[in-house]
Structure 1
Amino acid sequence: MLFRYYIDQVSNFFDLCGPYRFFRSEVPHRARENSTLANAIFALSARLLHWREGLDSYVADRYYHACLQTLIPTLNDSQAFLDDSLLAATVLLRMLEEIDVHIFGSDAQGHLSGLQAIIRATTTTTTAARSPPPSGLRQAASWAAFRQELWMALQTQRPVAMRSRDLDAICGFERDHGFRPADDWVWAQRAVAQFGEALEWAFGAGGGGGGGGCGGGDGDSDGDADAGVEPAAGGEAAWRARLRENAAWRASVPRSYEPFFGGWGDDDDDDEDDGDGERDLGLVEEKPLPDVRFCADLYATAHNYNLFAHMILIVHDPTVPRLGPLRRAAVAAVDRRARNTVRKLVALALANFDASPAALLACMAVILCGDRFAPSPHQGQHDQHQRYRAEQHRFLALLTATEKRHGWPTARARAQLREGWGF
């Protein structure tokens, strides 16, 4: 049961940025001869089934400890980082570690640190003379590890420790990728890389801006410059350049990225060019969520990465005044645009609910920007309160459905949102 569940469901969390579904096809075959990888599969599947169907948590714990018994001794081998099965197992264990935050209340990030070390070692080895090219599984696992690092940086609002440049040697990914014609999976890589660059700007040397950050309010994001972000990463000019790149991705993707059903529309009351090629995203606050469906998980998830990057950039708008009579109106405009983007993330996730990464991104957007879906003391209009209350219920339903469908725990987040919304 656990093996089948991994193949049918769990592998979908990882197979995004490559032409083949290595976590679905190759990892199970390797697990037949590698007990560490097999136990990692069983542990992760059991933990997800615990949250989805109530499977005894002891099952996941037992397989996890069995995995560690064979994993830890291999770490003494200086060549262990070359083992693709070890890298894949560590990626699986890192996801288990992410889920267990909801049990233990904190993230030790032990397996994340291990992934970072493996990626750095792989980068050094790959760039050495006469080194064989990395396998397809290693490339897929490296992209999965990169996405896990971005997830953690977003949760903790800290600088990104692993960068898209680290994937240059491993995966042949060009950091200065541009928007040249490419395979569909390359466009997904570009969306993920742009998301990482938005996080670098917001939480690294870019320093965010006056928009209040992901949590709302008036706080600053003064990230640690030691993470390796270039000095040029900061400033309004860099922010506008990232907005242009974000919009260019949407304008440049091939036709296969278009939905087969529905659309966003083009009648947004905020749909105006700001002089930098960045346009708002075609959704008005008074209309219901659109139904936009894509023919594959790849397209839905890539679009949600692009949307999330857009949201990160607009809530860290450096042009928002920190003081003065224009600040309130500027902050209100940022909040309005953030709400519209969150609605798009949620709409896309609900319409393509089998795309588990897209659902997780939408849930994270709700958690980080949920405070913007509550009337301010200055509003007080009954109809506005009723609209926000309806949206709050819809968002809570998304979080509940994500736990039931994909096994990702959201109970703690739902409780925090309910408290913040005054339920």
Structure 2
Amino acid sequence: MADDAGPRRLRTRTGCLTCRERHLKCDEAQPVCARCQRGKRQCVQADAAKDSFRHGHNPSRNVQGFTNVRYGERARTFDGTAEWVGVPATLDFVDETEAVASGYAGSPASTAGDNSASTLSAQAALSPDGESSSAVVYPPRHRTLSSSSHLSRATSLRSPASNPQTSDIYRTQSHPSSSVHNIRSAGSDTASASQQLRAEENASSTPPETIVSSVQTKRLEDYEQAYLIRVFAEQWGPGLDSMDSDRHFTFEVQRRALHCPILLYAILSVSSLHLSRISNYDVSLAERYYEESVRLLIPMLTDPSNAEHANLLAATVILRVYEQMNVPMYGNDQECHLSGSTALVSASSPPPSIGLRDAAFWVYLRQDIYMAILNQRPMKVDLSSIPSPDAVCLTSQSSDCMWARRMVAIMAHIVAFCFGDGDKSVSKWDELRALAHDWDARKPNSFEPYYWRDRDVEAGRYWPDYWLTADWHVSGNLYYHHGQTLLLIYQPHTLPGIGGLRHRRKLEKDILAHARVICGICASNKLSEARRIAGHALFACGPFFTDRKEQSLILELLGSAEKENGWPTGTVVRALVEEWRGEV
């Protein structure tokens, strides 16, 4: 009984003070939270929150003294002889920097000199050939803001966001570590990042190969960061590029990251978090890189023109990967960066058919499909912003990647049919089924397996062998069979009586046939993206498996995705085990 558990512990509003000071989300465990335990820090607990305002901690309302001194061992009281001064109705708050402090001594020249030096430093960082790369090279824990950053920050506080639809998503929903940064984020780093974003975009109007050869590439001086970029290129780039033969996330974002701090820290955060999931790498480094990327990202969203920049959307989908990987830590997925990507896509024109922004759009669409299936909710993306399946590719001359993207576009409409609020008619279902069958019938021969062998239970092969050539062939086939399972599960046709029972048995048989192919493709092509797609596919069709050996193999497949690829599959595993009633 709930009454036997004793009084419920009141929830603190900010978690422990140690996490609050570091701008991190706290799980509020007592006496030591998980983050402090991992970081071997002293965990200073906060008081339980009862009211919106705690006047006991307000010095002006606590003249008798504060007996339970815990917050840094400071008593929150004013001396009885304290003198009070009048305060004007309108105030401008300006951080006291070295530049401001120098003005007290009557040395305006020194202030101007500091600002000029800061301006020259920022201009040098903007140039592709500039020598200054301090905004990129040093980790967040070593960086300091110049004096001009504080002055411009004070100015920005008096200017409302010009694009609240985009920026408010991060101000109200984002990772707790970013909520403290959104006021102190607009500075010289922000201005520099914005100008770098624009300069990078202008320089990237040519194909990636031309850019790499024509723009002088900066070099990282920090070995740790260089290593983390390599980890991203090897472990995450291929998966994000599973429908992009130009490999923008494997090659292009590395080059751009040398000139774009937002991209750099997004990449470093995912790489370091990945290593912490599969090894003993310090997770606090991932948190620092993540905080820095979000700190630079938030002010970018206040300018509507930034929605068109490829670097911004690419950084947001990379940060979304970080957000998804953190689900096991916090137990829920707020989808903040997915909402941020949605706002960027909605506020911009349709992406071109080539380039990083186009590649980032298709990554975002797959991320939205994943969460719509996992949460059985409508998709966030506006379907009108998705190229219609017929518009993606229609000829045999189209590239294999375009054919794979066409299947993803079809999949998006299937997911919208299953979980959205739109047309649920039989005719709409028939239309989607015809689109999927047409894709399967007309796809290039390269999508066929170069080796196939049917399952043989007696020989111990529970999944068919399904060997494919390239990543996009794997992803395209997985989405096709996944789409077929969803259409069968959400088929609107109903038959009464015995005929209905027979019809349902046939449906279950067809669903299992497609589900086994999904498992076979994933087992035969040990790609990280294949495992991620199979994860949300099995969330939908896994409950139809009744054979205990198959159930065990599915759990083994999902476990390998988490152990070897650092991808969280606990939600899917728990859901399947519950469906199977703990028989495994």
If the TM-score is normalised by the length of the shorter chain, which range does it land in?
Answer: 0.7 to 0.9
What CA RMSD, in Å, does the superposition of the two structures yield over aligned residues? Answer: 2.5
Distance 1:26 1:241, change over 3 A: same
1:316 matched to 2:316: no
1:358 matched to 2:516: no
- Deviation at residue 39 of structure 1 after TM alignment: 0.7
Q: Distance in 1 between matches of 2:498 and 2:353?
A: 56
Query: Pairwise mapping of residues 5-404 of structure 1 onto structure 2 (< 5 A)?
Result: 5-123=231-349, 136-163=355-382, 165-168=384-387, 175-177=390-392, 179-181=394-396, 182-204=398-420, 224-225=421-422, 233-263=423-453, 288-321=462-495, 324-354=497-527, 356-374=528-546, 388-404=547-563
- Deviation at residue 135 of structure 1 after TM alignment: 6.0
The aligned amino acid for 1:332 is: R
Q: Distance in 1 between matches of 2:563 and 2:430?
A: 39
Given that 1:164 and 1:193 are in contact with CA atoms closer than 8 Å, whether structure 2 keeps it comes out as no
- Deviation at residue 28 of structure 1 after TM alignment: 0.5
Q: Distance in 2 between matches of 1:174 and 1:303?
A: 16
- Deviation at residue 420 of structure 1 after TM alignment: 3.8
- Deviation at residue 57 of structure 1 after TM alignment: 2.3
Given that 2:389 and 2:410 are in contact with CA atoms closer than 8 Å, whether structure 1 keeps it comes out as no
Please identify the structure whose Cα radius of gyration is greater.
2
Give the SS at the match of 1:262: strand
Given that 1:37 and 1:88 are in contact with CA atoms closer than 8 Å, whether structure 2 keeps it comes out as yes
Distance 1:164 1:189, change over 3 A: farther
Distance 1:69 1:6, change over 3 A: same
Q: 1:73-119: CA deviations, max 9, x gaps? A: 22222322122211110010112122222221222121111111111
Q: Distance in 1 between matches of 2:526 and 2:297?
A: 34
Q: Distance in 2 between matches of 1:318 and 1:6?
A: 43
Given that 1:16 and 1:188 are in contact with CA atoms closer than 8 Å, whether structure 2 keeps it comes out as no
> What percentage of residue pairs aligned between the two structures are identical?
30
Residue range with higher mean Cα deviation, 66-75 or 311-320: 66-75
Q: Distance in 2 between matches of 1:361 and 1:116?
A: 21
- Deviation at residue 46 of structure 1 after TM alignment: 1.8
The aligned amino acid for 2:472 is: L
- Deviation at residue 293 of structure 1 after TM alignment: 0.6
Give the SS at the match of 2:304: coil
The aligned amino acid for 2:569 is: T
Q: 1:409 aligns with which of 568, 578, 583?
A: 568
- Deviation at residue 252 of structure 1 after TM alignment: 1.1
Q: Distance in 2 between matches of 1:150 and 1:415?
A: 20
Q: 1:295-337: CA deviations, max 9, x gaps? A: 111101110011111111011111133x544333332222222
Given that 2:327 and 2:568 are in contact with CA atoms closer than 8 Å, whether structure 1 keeps it comes out as no
Give the SS at the match of 2:452: coil
Q: Distance in 2 between matches of 1:177 and 1:263?
A: 32
The aligned amino acid for 1:350 is: A
- Deviation at residue 134 of structure 1 after TM alignment: 7.5
The aligned amino acid for 2:249 is: F
**TM superposition score normalised by structure 2:** 0.57
The aligned amino acid for 2:548 is: R
Q: Distance in 2 between matches of 1:40 and 1:113?
A: 17
The aligned amino acid for 2:343 is: A
Given that 2:266 and 2:319 are in contact with CA atoms closer than 8 Å, whether structure 1 keeps it comes out as yes
**TM superposition score normalised by structure 1:** 0.77
Instruction: Kindly tell me the number of residue pairs found equivalent between the two proteins.
Output: 354
Residue range with higher mean Cα deviation, 154-163 or 309-318: 154-163
Give the SS at the match of 2:348: helix
- Deviation at residue 59 of structure 1 after TM alignment: 2.2
The aligned amino acid for 2:573 is: R
Q: 1:215-263: CA deviations, max 9, x gaps? A: xxxxxxxxx34xxxxxxx4311221222222122122111211212125
- Deviation at residue 175 of structure 1 after TM alignment: 4.7
| Residue 104 of structure 2: aligned partner | none
The aligned amino acid for 1:162 is: V
- Deviation at residue 177 of structure 1 after TM alignment: 4.8
The aligned amino acid for 1:119 is: V
Give the SS at the match of 1:292: strand
Given that 2:485 and 2:541 are in contact with CA atoms closer than 8 Å, whether structure 1 keeps it comes out as no
**Which blocks of at least 5 consecutive residues in structure 1 are unaligned?**
127-132, 205-223, 226-232, 268-282, 375-387
Distance 1:351 1:249, change over 3 A: same
Given that 1:90 and 1:114 are in contact with CA atoms closer than 8 Å, whether structure 2 keeps it comes out as yes
Q: 1:106-160: CA deviations, max 9, x gaps? A: 2212111111111112227x7xxxxxx6760111111111111111211121222
Q: 1:375-400: CA deviations, max 9, x gaps? A: xxxxxxxxxxxxx1110111011011
Distance 1:184 1:135, change over 3 A: closer
Distance 1:10 1:370, change over 3 A: same
The aligned amino acid for 1:262 is: W
Give the SS at the match of 1:248: helix
Greater RCO (Cα-Cα under 8 Å, separation 6 or more): 1
Give the SS at the match of 1:326: helix
**Which blocks of at least 5 consecutive residues in structure 2 are unaligned?**
1-226
- Deviation at residue 184 of structure 1 after TM alignment: 0.8
Q: Distance in 1 between matches of 2:336 and 2:244?
A: 26
Give the SS at the match of 1:317: coil
